[in-house]
């Protein structure tokens, strides 16, 4: 009884609503990061360990473009395109030669890219964190807090980017090529789809999505060479929980995990570190009971 009291001490309806909003906002950013990761895995069977660094590189590109042009929106668009191109170049030079080899080689290759990009950023930009100024600085009153509009803008933009990407996959000619390649690579190639270039495009789109999330999230944390590490681990969990290569599942898993973490941080009976463990608990339970992912039917 005492434990229950301790757990729910200080909990209120206000806090519940605030944490729900926090969970959804964080979930949408995570979904954007994880979408790129799941796309790359779904198409190429490549676990991209450099995804966090593409997120970081996007944020740094955002800093540079913002400093040059003064426009956040231009920074968002250009950073996405530039990192998308860098992603394409990385795929052609590093991952394409490894197609058909042991999957371990691609893991090691992307891990190597991750280390190179991280240390390059530290060498090029130095240890001092940089700032991306958010385009909106207004707030609205949410119970006892002033809630920044910008957080809602991030959630909305993430949803719009993911929605646009989904439309592209569903109705666009090249989106159909990507889906066909995901379903059956050999048959897609037999039908005349240029599979290697679909791989390159998928990697570039995934990299661009990571870069966009880096620019969007940059104003909340500052830009530094390890900012991607915080997100990529969670994005991996989301991809596994949502079902490897399953876009809808990843989005649902991102929101579920972020909501669970936000609610867990309200409990007075567990420490903050334990609240963060929630996502790992979900991961372990998923692997034990639904190894193909929470949002994918388990094969009979």
Partner 1 sequence: MANNDKTPNEIDGFWYRGKVTRRTLIGYGATAGAIGATMLVPAPWQAAFGQAKPYKIGSLQPLSGAGAAGGKTALVGLQMAVDRINKAGGINGRPVEIVIADDESKPDVGRRKTEKLLVEDKVDAHVGGFLSNICLACMPVFEENKVVNMISVCLDTTLTTTKCNRFSFRVHDYAPSQAVAFAPELVKMGKKWHIAFADYSWGQSTRDAYADQIKKAGGEVVGTTGIPLGTADMTSFLSKITGNFDGLFGIFFGKDGVTIGNQAFDLGLTKKYKWAGDGAIAESTNLPALGSKIDGFIGINRYIPVLEAPFNTPAHKKFFDEAVVRLKQIDPSGPLPDRYVQANYEAMNALKIGMEKSKFRGREDTDKLIGALEGLEMKEGDDFPQGDKTLRKEDHQAFLRQVIAEVRGGKYKVLKVIDKDATVFPSACKFT
Tell me which residues touch partner 1 (CB under 8 A). Answer: 10, 15, 18-19, 22-23, 25-26, 29, 96-101, 118-119, 122, 125-131, 133, 139, 144-148, 150-151, 189, 192-197, 217, 219-227, 229-231, 261-262, 265-266, 271-273, 276
Query: Based on CB atoms, which residue is closest to partner 1, 150 or 295?
Result: 150
Least spacing, CB of residue 3 vs partner 1, in Å: 19
Q: Please report how close the Cβ of residue 99 comes to partner 1 at its closest, in angstroms.
A: 5
Identity of the residue, 204 or 293, whose beta carbon is nearer to partner 1 in the bound complex = 204
How near is the Cβ of 296 to partner 1 at its closest, in Å? 27
Q: How far is the CB of 220 from partner 1 (least distance, A)?
A: 6
Q: Which is nearer to partner 1, 101 or 170 (CB)?
A: 101
Q: 3-state secondary structure string, the chain?
A: CHHHHHHHCCCCHHHHHHHHHHHHHHHHHHHHHHHHHHHHHHHHCCCCCCHHHHHHHHHHHHHHHHHHHCCHHHHHHHHHHHHHHHHHHHHHHHHHHHCCCCHHHHHHHHHHHHHHHHHHHHHHHCCCCECCCCCCCCEEEECCEEEEHHHHHHHHHHHHHHHHHHHHHHHCHHHHHHHHHHHCHHHHHHCCCCHHHHHHHHHHHHHHHHHHHHHHHHHHHCECCCHHHHHHHHHHHHHHHHCCCCHHHHHHHHHHHHHHHHHHCCCCCCCHHHHHHHHHHHHHHHHHHCCCCCCCCCCC
The minimum distance between CB 84 and partner 1, in angstroms, equals: 20
Decide whether 51 or 225 has the Cβ nearer to partner 1: 225
Of 223 and 295, nearer to partner 1 (C-beta) is: 223
């Amino acid at each position: 009884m005492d434990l229950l009291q301790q757990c729910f001490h200080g909990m209120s309806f206000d806090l519940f609503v605030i944490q729900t909003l926090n969970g959804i906002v964080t979930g949408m950013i995570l979904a954007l990061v994880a979408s790129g990761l799941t796309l790359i895995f779904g198409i190429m069977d490549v676990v991209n360990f450099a995804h966090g660094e593409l997120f970081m590189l996007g944020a740094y590109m955002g800093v540079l473009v913002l400093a040059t042009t003064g426009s956040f929106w231009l920074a968002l668009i250009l950073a996405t395109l530039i990192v998308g191109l860098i992603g394409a170049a990385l795929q052609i030079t590093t991952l394409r030669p490894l197609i058909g080899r042991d999957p371990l080689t691609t893991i090691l290759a992307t891990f190597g890219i991750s280390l190179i990009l991280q240390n390059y950023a530290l060498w090029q930009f130095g240890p001092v964190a940089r700032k991306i100024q958010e385009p909106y600085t207004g707030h609205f009153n949410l119970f006892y807090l002033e809630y920044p509009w910008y957080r809602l803008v991030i959630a909305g933009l993430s949803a719009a980017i993911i929605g646009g990407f989904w439309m592209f996959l569903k109705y666009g000619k090249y989106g159909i090529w990507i889906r066909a390649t995901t379903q059956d690579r050999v048959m897609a190639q037999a039908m005349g789809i240029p599979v290697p270039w679909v791989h390159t495009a998928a990697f570039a789109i995934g990299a661009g999505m990571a870069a966009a999330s880096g620019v969007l999230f940059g104003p909340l944390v500052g830009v530094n060479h390890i900012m991607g590490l915080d997100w990529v681990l969670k994005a991996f969990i989301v991809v596994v929980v949502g079902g490897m290569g399953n876009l809808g599942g990843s989005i649902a898993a991102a929101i579920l995990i972020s909501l669970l973490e936000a609610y867990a941080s309200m409990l007075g009976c567990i420490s903050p570190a334990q609240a963060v463990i929630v996502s790992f608990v979900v991961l372990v339970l998923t692997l034990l009971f639904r190894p193909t992912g929470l949002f994918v039917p388990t094969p009979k």
